[in-house]
Amino acid sequence: MKPIHNLLAVLCGLCFTATSMAADELIIFPNAGQTGEQQEADKFACYGWAKNQSGFDPMAPPTTTAPPPKKEAKKGGTGKGMLRGAAIGGIVGGSDGAKKGAGAGAVMGTARRNDQKRSETKSQQDWEQEQVAIYSANRNLYNRNYGACLEGKNYTVR
């Protein structure tokens, strides 16, 4: 269930990225006195051309290009570490060894689980950043194609 929440969070992040890019929309000025109807027709034609050239559709909802990283099976943990430490300590040093081993095992198990959580969080963040970067690059390629098409139809594009 949690991976679905993570995927939704990334998609929402991509939506915010798309929204912020929409705020940076291109400014289009007709150089040859094109009418409003002609401008809309040219924009529509260039939208289709840029979409075909770039493979990116700015009107489509953002999607991810790869699934999120999978969670590993839980490693370590306080309870598991305590049991392992007690078992090893009991074998080596009897009941006193079991007590010391349980304490050391609990610390080691907790540390191991925390390391795994940090690693999983880093993997998730790296994946999210990669997805946003891919979306941004695709959007930029689309905008360049769209602008080139409009400039070819005698518009100034900024």
Domain ranges of the chain: 2-157
Give the pLDDT confidence score for residue 25 in this predicted structure: 85
pLDDT of residue 108: 74
What's the rounded Cα separation, in Å, for the pair 100 and 109? 14
Least confident stretch, 44-53, 69-78, 88-97, 129-138: 88-97
Q: Is the pLDDT of residue 52 over 80?
A: yes
Query: Which whole number is the average pLDDT over 74-92?
Result: 59
Counting residues of the chain whose pLDDT is more than 70, the rounded percentage is 63
Mean pLDDT of 116-141: 93
Put simply, whether the predicted model's pTM sits higher than 0.75 gets the answer no
Confidence of residue 38 (pLDDT cuts 50, 70, 90): very high
Token pair, residue 50, equals 């840029």
| Average pLDDT, rounded, for the chain | 80
The encoded tokens of residue 131 equal 């997805």
Region of 63 please: left (phi>0), alpha (psi -120 to 50) or beta.
Answer: beta
60 is written with which tokens? 């489509």
